Structure 1
Amino acid sequence: MIKEQLPKIALGGGCHWCTEAVFSSLLGVYNVEQGFVSSTRDNTNFSEAITLKYKPEIISLKTLVNIHLITHKSTSYHSFRKKYRSLFYVYSSNQKKEIEEIIIALQSNFTKPIITKVHPFSEFKPSKEEFKNYYYNNPNKPFCKTYITPKLQMLLRTFSKQINTKKLPYEKH
């Protein structure tokens, strides 16, 4: 049996627990792994991020980019930006160009300039086992209820066709 090669991308923005929960909840997204990602040149230090694979015929790269931009502070240079870089880590120059064009096209949906960068993927270090799939293992913890559940509820309102509602651990209103 030939194993299908799916496109990959890595995303950094907010807490990797949040980012993992958001993208694990999407139809067409597979192999979401949270951990720490580094890039190249001046960006070799690791920051919280996720890696994932996706099926473009189920969820487009444009939708993934849009969801990433609206589910973290993609227009803010806040004090935790080194730990939570606002980045797309890419695996090819074509992917870099495509994401940069999507960001430019989506800018009109934001009142402030998008600060999210696109850098080459270099290395991934997975989180400790106890932190993987954090939201779905701990949906009632205060952090999850305060920060992650509202993001998923917003996604249900905005991207309802892309959400795997069977996976959500709370009432869908």
Structure 2
Amino acid sequence: MDKIGFGGSCHWCTEAIFQSLKGTGEVLQGWISVSGEPDLLSEAVIVEFDPAVISLNSLIEIHLHTHSCTSVHSMRDKYRSAVYCFTKEQFASAGTAIQALQKDFSQPIITEVLDFGDFKLNQPQYLNYYYTDTERPFCKNIVDPKLKELMSKFSDKLDSNKLSHLNP
């Protein structure tokens, strides 16, 4: 399994999105810092994935389409739009993928490609937030719409068993 980090919106949302895909293993939710910036932590996830099942490019495409990757706002330090890379090869591939995906968006993508620095795991009661209780108001109002968007655009990449509760 390979691993990559993603940030851009609430880590509860991001965790649920990547947990819902075929080819992903453990999704760790918490805060990531960038190499050289240990004090600047942003909400993010680390995703283990099997590149034989789901490619890094597919993961990046899903990430860009499931958060506000073109929006500059006052909370960007907390919700940094980023791909956190563990290798030089990932760094190069992520940059190329984002450039190629710009055509999907009318505004410039602001998602940064960064070297992973450090990770702080969230508190145990918040891990696997969505799938421990999909009926929470936050899950129904915030996470569900993102997962429905995922279902409409990337149905071939989804673990349909995990999202069966969202089917009409």
Local SS of the residue matching 1:119: strand
Compare 100-109 and 163-172 and name the one that shifted more.
163-172
The gaps in structure 1 that reach 5 residues or longer are: 1-5
| Alignment correspondent of 2:101 | 106
Alignment RMSD: 1.2
The answer on 1:9 being equivalent to 2:15 is: no
User: Offset at 1:42?
Assistant: 4.5
The gaps in structure 2 that reach 5 residues or longer are: none
Q: Are the equivalent residues in 1 in contact too, given 2:32–2:118 (CA < 8 A)?
A: yes
User: Quick one: distance in 2 between partners of 1:45 and 1:37?
Assistant: 8
Q: Are the equivalent residues in 2 in contact too, given 1:39–1:45 (CA < 8 A)?
A: yes
- Read off the aligned partner of 1:142 and give its amino acid letter: P
The answer on 1:75 being equivalent to 2:70 is: yes
| Alignment correspondent of 1:89 | 84
- Deviation string, structure 1 residues 72-116 (Cα, Å, up to 9, x no partner): 110011111110000011011111011000000000000000000
Count of aligned positions: 168
TM-score (normalised: structure 1): 0.93
User: Offset at 1:150?
Assistant: 0.9
Structure 1's 108 and 53: CA in aligned 2 closer, same or farther, altered over 3 A? same
- Deviation string, structure 1 residues 11-39 (Cα, Å, up to 9, x no partner): 11100000000000000011101011101
TM-score (normalised: structure 2): 0.96
| Alignment correspondent of 2:22 | 27
User: Quick one: distance in 1 between partners of 2:118 and 2:71?
Assistant: 25
The answer on 1:160 being equivalent to 2:158 is: no
User: Quick one: distance in 1 between partners of 2:95 and 2:38?
Assistant: 18
Q: Are the equivalent residues in 2 in contact too, given 1:34–1:132 (CA < 8 A)?
A: yes
User: Quick one: distance in 2 between partners of 1:60 and 1:46?
Assistant: 27
Structure 1's 43 and 117: CA in aligned 2 closer, same or farther, altered over 3 A? farther
| Alignment correspondent of 1:117 | 112
User: Quick one: distance in 1 between partners of 2:62 and 2:39?
Assistant: 25
Runs of 4+ with >6 A deviation? none
Q: Are the equivalent residues in 1 in contact too, given 2:81–2:112 (CA < 8 A)?
A: yes
Q: Are the equivalent residues in 1 in contact too, given 2:6–2:46 (CA < 8 A)?
A: yes
User: Quick one: distance in 1 between partners of 2:74 and 2:166?
Assistant: 34
Local SS of the residue matching 2:5: strand
Match of residue 36, structure 1, among 31, 47, 51: 31
User: Quick one: distance in 1 between partners of 2:115 and 2:146?
Assistant: 27
Q: Are the equivalent residues in 1 in contact too, given 2:84–2:113 (CA < 8 A)?
A: yes
Q: Are the equivalent residues in 2 in contact too, given 1:136–1:169 (CA < 8 A)?
A: no
